[in-house]
Amino acid sequence: MKLNGKIALITGGAAGIGLATAESYLQEGASVIIWDVNEDAGNKSIESFSSFKTESAFQKVDVSDFEAVTKAVNEIKERFGRIDILVNNAGITMDRSLMKMDPATWQKVIDINLTGVFNCTKACAEIMVQQGSGVILNASSIVGLYGNFGQTNYVAAKAGVIGMTKTWARELGRKGIRVNAVAPGFIATEMVKKMPQNIVDGITGKTPLGRLGYPADIAKAYVFLASDDASFITGITLSVDGGLTI
């Protein structure tokens, strides 16, 4: 198993890509802690993990709250002794064109999708530096690379994540910590399923592989990047998009 004995924290882990990643990590032998603001979904996810042999836990955490993040990370350290992998997956969308976007809508997405990544990484990196090893994986997006109409806030956050990934890879590499980002294309999550069907069909038609991605496609990328198979990879942004951006 690629992640046997590892302790992994996955934010936004109660649904979609985060949930698929948690399941994949458990299959690969890791113990998994998931964070989410949806307590019911989080508890249901833990119940669904009962068939796995390794341990799992849920904490209700708002990643935009640095004090809450720090408290929860300390609780993980006390219970599990270490944190080997952090997957910064939590995120939201609140789409508006520039002329229709108010400051509150801008700030909410930035607080969770960008500041939340800083908060979680800051808290976990201190533990990883002490133990001399760790892997930090950040959820970006292809729109963070290429932009997208009506997503000023989301694109800004996801582009910022790519910049932080490169910076942290430089800063933390000599401490034994690898930092990488994954840039998903259009994935068949609840968020994408809410899009008008003609838009979804158009995206699918432009994708060389002829389909939307599945959460498991992204989870497999997170497994690879967290494993020793990627031990000489740091500072990259891996696009998992079916060729959409070719």
**CA gap 151, 97 in Å, rounded:** 7
Q: Can you point out the beta strands (E) in the chain?
A: 7-11, 31-36, 56-60, 85-88, 134-139, 177-184, 237-240
Question: Residue 42's CB: how many other CB atoms inside 10 A?
Answer: 22
Q: Please check whether residue 32 is in contact with residue 231, taking contact to mean a CB–CB distance below 8 angstroms.
A: no
**CA gap 18, 172 in Å, rounded:** 24
**CA gap 168, 96 in Å, rounded:** 30
Q: Which residues contact 67 (CB under 8 A, 6 or more apart)?
A: none
Biggest CA-to-CA distance, the chain: 51
Annotated catalytic residues are 154
Question: Which two three-digit tokens encode residue 73?
Answer: 């990370």
Q: Please check whether residue 13 is in contact with residue 22, taking contact to mean a CB–CB distance below 8 angstroms.
A: yes
